[in-house]
Structure 1
């Protein structure tokens, strides 16, 4: 999806051509393009653009100055190689409009990924939800609009995009927690909390992830760290954070992660797989083995979900996946071997042993 993006707002403003970034003018020209892009495929009046970019310091003959900025931007957009109807600026009554094909602007791509990920999460497809939401967060290349932060419109717009970034990260974290990826999630939460130290919802997720890693003491310390941070603002921890601390201290079973799943009914095809030579692989990779194992399980869940399969059980590198159609199980087994032969996240191939059996599912 990223290959089609030609206008990037989620970081320093970039217009991407076939040979890389296209040169743009100064902050005000960039500001005009950004305002149009934030309202892509909708008209923006001259007065809105002038107020947002120049504010009270209007130049002489402001309409002409704005027109000249638009002319230069049109030339820059044509250098992307996109047709005008895919990425171009048109004149509208009293203003201008950025016309874009869906996916040409990174904000549009993020919106589509977020919508798709949230829908997957609602239907219980946590693997696809995590994938889409994680990809959405990955479109940020730094603080949005940082290179035009002094323009009048930029403060509120940048705040909204920053809030969207953290919200999507939290939604991604929830899907990762649902998948049982609490070990991998802890450092990601700690990294984001460094930039958002007063956001209780992030602290809540960190405490839960730590507890599910059998790190009760660290989870309780995370609460104290949150309390001290909030105290700097003269605030007390909220009710949800306090309640979670009580549950962690009491080792409440309500906090435990559960991978209980519902088997397909009737005749079921089971795919059983494990990593060939996993002991030797562990000895060879050392600390790099757990991340590889986590990615391996991600592949299993994704291949299963794509074919309406259910990961019934995992034990180390072993896994049992159930399908209600034999053909889907065979397809998943074949795809698994191909997917892991040369995985992009590992320098070595991951060979798997796969077995397939069909029969009636026992009720669980």
Structure 2
């Protein structure tokens, strides 16, 4: 079986989606997958599912969900196992069968390639990793109000991978190709200065200096209004270099 977290929770066996039961069972499975191969204390599970407002039957509901997950795993003859392990539970699963872990492995390979000077190879690996995403991590649970810190952390991993990919794309001279994607991302993530810096650079290298400076002003306004801070030194320096048409920010000369 393959376990998909990067989007709505899915379990796929031989190309067919597996029935995962009700909301509590899906939430328990999702949380255990986020911590696959590690012991998750029952008390932590209860806080994750209900904050400080767990019903009196919460522990029994988790036990029932665990039993349902075990039946599902057994029915499909998978190597994954859900163990009771004091003080809670441990979902034993091959990381290669979890899309989140596959994503992390590809990202690591991509960054290694970039560090070794193979930007094109790095872009290909990072794009392969990012293509695993089908929406927000555990999107179906998020729609029901789940606000786990682990999900925010996984989303940040996606954005960092995107930023690394854009840096490599810029190094390959792909500024025009990535401009539309950066336009959307900087509107949804206006406080991420690195994305805004990349967008400004892509615009400038595409001959759109005025638009690049507009992005700086928009970003500065978002930071001042939202966080009460000025843009960081790197973003301010890029604005200065754009105004001066500095040669250091021109598109790289690529060898054919």
Same fold by TM (over 0.5)?
yes
Question: What is the CA deviation profile of residues 59-84 of structure 1, one whole-angstrom value per residue up to 9, with x for unaligned ones?
Answer: 445544322111111233345x462x
Conserved 8 A contact 2:4-2:98: yes
What residue is the counterpart of 1:66 in the other structure? 62
Q: 1:75 aligns with which of 71, 88, 92?
A: 71
What residue is the counterpart of 1:156 in the other structure? 149
Does residue 251 (structure 1) correspond to residue 249 (structure 2)? The answer is: no
Aligned to 1:149, what secondary structure does the other structure show?
helix
Provide the rounded CA distance (Å) in 2 between the counterparts of 1:145 and 1:181: 32
**Cα 1:154–1:26 shift into 2, 3 Å:** farther
Conserved 8 A contact 2:123-2:169: yes
Counterparts of 1:116-131 in structure 2 under 5 Å?
116-131=109-124
| Structure richer in helix, relative to its length | 2
Does residue 190 (structure 1) correspond to residue 183 (structure 2)? The answer is: yes
What residue is the counterpart of 1:96 in the other structure? 89
Q: 1:40 aligns with which of 36, 49, 62?
A: 36
Aligned to 2:84, what secondary structure does the other structure show?
strand
Conserved 8 A contact 1:193-1:199: yes
What residue is the counterpart of 2:108 in the other structure? 115
Q: 1:169 aligns with which of 162, 171, 178?
A: 162
What residue is the counterpart of 1:242 in the other structure? 236
Gaps spanning 5+ residues in structure 2: where? none
Aligned to 1:57, what secondary structure does the other structure show?
coil
Provide the rounded CA distance (Å) in 2 between the counterparts of 1:65 and 1:175: 48
Provide the rounded CA distance (Å) in 2 between the counterparts of 1:147 and 1:102: 22
**Cα 1:198–1:58 shift into 2, 3 Å:** closer
Provide the rounded CA distance (Å) in 1 between the counterparts of 2:144 and 2:206: 45
Conserved 8 A contact 1:207-1:222: yes
TM-score (structure 2 length as normaliser): 0.89
Question: What is the CA deviation profile of residues 177-199 of structure 1, one whole-angstrom value per residue up to 9, with x for unaligned ones?
Answer: 11111110111111111211222
What residue is the counterpart of 1:132 in the other structure? 125
**1:172 CA displacement:** 0.7
What residue is the counterpart of 1:341 in the other structure? none
Gaps spanning 5+ residues in structure 1: where? 261-311, 314-364
Question: What is the CA deviation profile of residues 160-217 of structure 1, one whole-angstrom value per residue up to 9, with x for unaligned ones?
Answer: 1221111111011111111111110111111111211222111100011111112222
Aligned to 1:154, what secondary structure does the other structure show?
coil
TM-score (structure 1 length as normaliser): 0.64
| Structure richer in strand, relative to its length | 1
Provide the rounded CA distance (Å) in 2 between the counterparts of 1:58 and 1:245: 51
Conserved 8 A contact 2:172-2:252: no
Conserved 8 A contact 1:52-1:152: no
Determine which structure has greater relative contact order: mean sequence separation of CA pairs < 8 Å that are 6+ residues apart, divided by chain length. Answer: 2
Question: What is the CA deviation profile of residues 273-324 of structure 1, one whole-angstrom value per residue up to 9, with x for unaligned ones?
Answer: xxxxxxxxxxxxxxxxxxxxxxxxxxxxxxxxxxxxxxx41xxxxxxxxxxx
Provide the rounded CA distance (Å) in 2 between the counterparts of 1:154 and 1:228: 28
Aligned-residue Cα RMSD (Å) equals: 2.3
Provide the rounded CA distance (Å) in 2 between the counterparts of 1:19 and 1:237: 48
**Cα 1:82–1:205 shift into 2, 3 Å:** farther
Provide the rounded CA distance (Å) in 2 between the counterparts of 1:144 and 1:75: 25
**1:150 CA displacement:** 8.0
Q: 2:48 aligns with which of 37, 46, 52?
A: 52
Does residue 180 (structure 1) correspond to residue 173 (structure 2)? The answer is: yes
What residue is the counterpart of 1:292 in the other structure? none
Aligned to 1:98, what secondary structure does the other structure show?
strand
Worse-superposed segment, 251-260 or 115-124: 251-260
